[in-house]
Amino acid sequence: MKKVFNGMAFSHALGLKKHCRSLAICISAGLFTAQMTQASPNVSPPSIKAGAPHVYVVKKGDTLWDISGKFLRSPWRWKEIWASNKHVKNPHWIYPGDRLLLCTLDGRPLIGKDEGDGCEGVIRRHLGAINLKPQVRVESLGNTIPIIPLDDIQPWLERSIIVAPDALQSTPYILGSADRRIVAGEGQTVYARGQGINPGQSYGVYREAEPYVFLDEKGKKYTGALELIEVATAVAVANENEISTLELKQSFNAEVRRGDYVLPKFQNELPSLFYPTATTDIQPGGQVIRVMGSIGTAAQHSVVTINRGSVHGAKNGHVLSIFQQGEVVKDPKTKENIQLPNQRVGNLMIFKTFDQLSYAYVLDSALPIKVGAVLEPSPMVEN
């Protein structure tokens, strides 16, 4: 069943961005601040969460958001209390087995890695008070603690795009396979019709998913955007009279069907790091408009589509608070219908933007998140 939303006017540009497969989404405490500066003296220091541990041992499977959430009420402010060791080349990376200590410096919280000398050593190294010799620690980048598990976002990070409806009018599409099967998979030959396919080049085969349907100012439905899911990669081997022959090289949990689109493979430029940041720049009015991979509700670790894209100021790494719409109740005295206030239920982080929409990852959630949940900028200053 198609979902319908209000207030969306989409440009007819192809909201595509070039991306890469460099998926070392390794993260560190420093990763929280590539776009954040040290807090102003007029801004209150980050609040330590009630029940925060004084010692935490990093475990395999942890994410930095989860770890910082054990210490702070506002996890994206981690850098403000992180004790960087200036003598180490990459002082912010943390790994499974590292012991993190919650210390105090001049009345402010300070968290750092225990090198065997407790908080005294954490503070000393942070202040640069001792002349340590650089030490080499050999670790795979894949072992560093990520902001979010790569497996949770990889299908949408690598193989999903959102385009304007008229962007596909002249796009080549699959006619059929060499063995006359309705569907085809890795290792088979298929034929495509359309211009622009060149022998020797690599292509992605995309299937059109459920469209994004909206209401215009008069309440009339219209298709505002199309979502394409890559189901296979292919190499063109011949072209004659607008009919191209392609060999399927890799399939992604689906078979190629007639009508699937053929698009060029884009240059690899995915970000190697994500920088979760609070923002006040994004335009208000954001909502969750789709739960990816589900027809129900979202929860922690879910991927969702939101109706805020680059034209609204959305950027990769922006953290937004999620508010569930308040229930409408009847006043027992006046019998009026009263809208209760929205309830804050969690946070999400944008990881892939298009012109009008973005994909986002639910970092945490106290309750199930429904389509229509309201998004607001996460405040830099805690109440």
Instruction: Tell whether 49 and 112 lie within a shared domain.
Output: yes
Structure confidence by residue, pLDDT tens digits, 32-71: 332 333 344 445 667 888 888 999 999 887 887 888 888 8
Structure confidence by residue, pLDDT tens digits, 339-375: 999 899 999 999 999 999 999 999 989 899 999 999 9
Instruction: Tell whether 243 and 226 lie within a shared domain.
Output: yes
Instruction: Tell whether 38 and 138 lie within a shared domain.
Output: yes
40 domain-assigned: yes
Domain extent, residue 352, equals 277-377
CA distances in angstroms from 160 to 108, 156, 172, 369, 371, listed in the order given = 44, 5, 18, 22, 20
CA distances in angstroms from 108 to 37, 72, 123, 129, 183, listed in the order given = 17, 13, 12, 18, 62
Using DSSP's 3-state secondary structure scheme, residue 120 falls into helix
Neighbour tally for 96: CB within 10 Å: 14
269 domain-assigned: no
349 domain-assigned: yes
DSSP state at residue 165: G
Query: Of the candidates 77, 68, 73, which has an alpha carbon nearest to the alpha carbon of residue 102?
Result: 68
- Can you give the pLDDT at residue 78? 77
Q: Tokens 């958001």 correspond to what residue?
A: 65
- Can you give the pLDDT at residue 374? 95
Query: Of the candidates 259, 253, 239, which has an alpha carbon nearest to the alpha carbon of residue 177?
Result: 259
- Can you give the pLDDT at residue 272? 52
Q: Divide the 383 residues of the chain into consecutive groups of 10 and give the mean pLDDT of each group.
A: 42 35 30 33 69 90 82 80 61 78 86 89 78 42 62 86 91 90 86 94 94 89 93 94 94 92 75 70 93 86 94 92 90 93 91 94 91 83 48
Instruction: Tell whether 326 and 290 lie within a shared domain.
Output: yes
Select from 241, 264, 287 the last residue of a domain. Answer: 264
> Domain total for the chain?
3
- Can you give the pLDDT at residue 141? 42
Instruction: Tell whether 197 and 251 lie within a shared domain.
Output: yes
Instruction: Tell whether 122 and 209 lie within a shared domain.
Output: no
CA distance 179 to 53: 63
Select from 89, 119, 147 the last residue of a domain. Answer: 147
Length of the chain in residues, anyone? Answer: 383
Select from 112, 147, 182 the last residue of a domain. Answer: 147
383 domain-assigned: no
Instruction: Tell whether 104 and 71 lie within a shared domain.
Output: yes
DSSP state at residue 298: B
323 domain-assigned: yes
48 domain-assigned: yes
- Can you give the pLDDT at residue 190? 95
Q: Are 102 and 108 in contact (CB under 8 A)?
A: no
Instruction: Tell whether 156 and 17 lie within a shared domain.
Output: yes
Using DSSP's 3-state secondary structure scheme, residue 118 falls into helix
CA distance 231 to 209: 11
120 domain-assigned: yes
- Can you give the pLDDT at residue 86? 55
Q: Is-above-0.95 flag for pTM?
A: no
Query: Of the candidates 92, 80, 95, 76, which has an alpha carbon nearest to the alpha carbon of residue 29?
Result: 92
- Which two three-digit tokens encode residue 24? 């070392």
Instruction: Tell whether 43 and 134 lie within a shared domain.
Output: yes
- Can you give the pLDDT at residue 276? 75
Instruction: Tell whether 289 and 260 lie within a shared domain.
Output: no
Instruction: Tell whether 165 and 138 lie within a shared domain.
Output: no
119 domain-assigned: yes
Instruction: Tell whether 140 and 157 lie within a shared domain.
Output: no
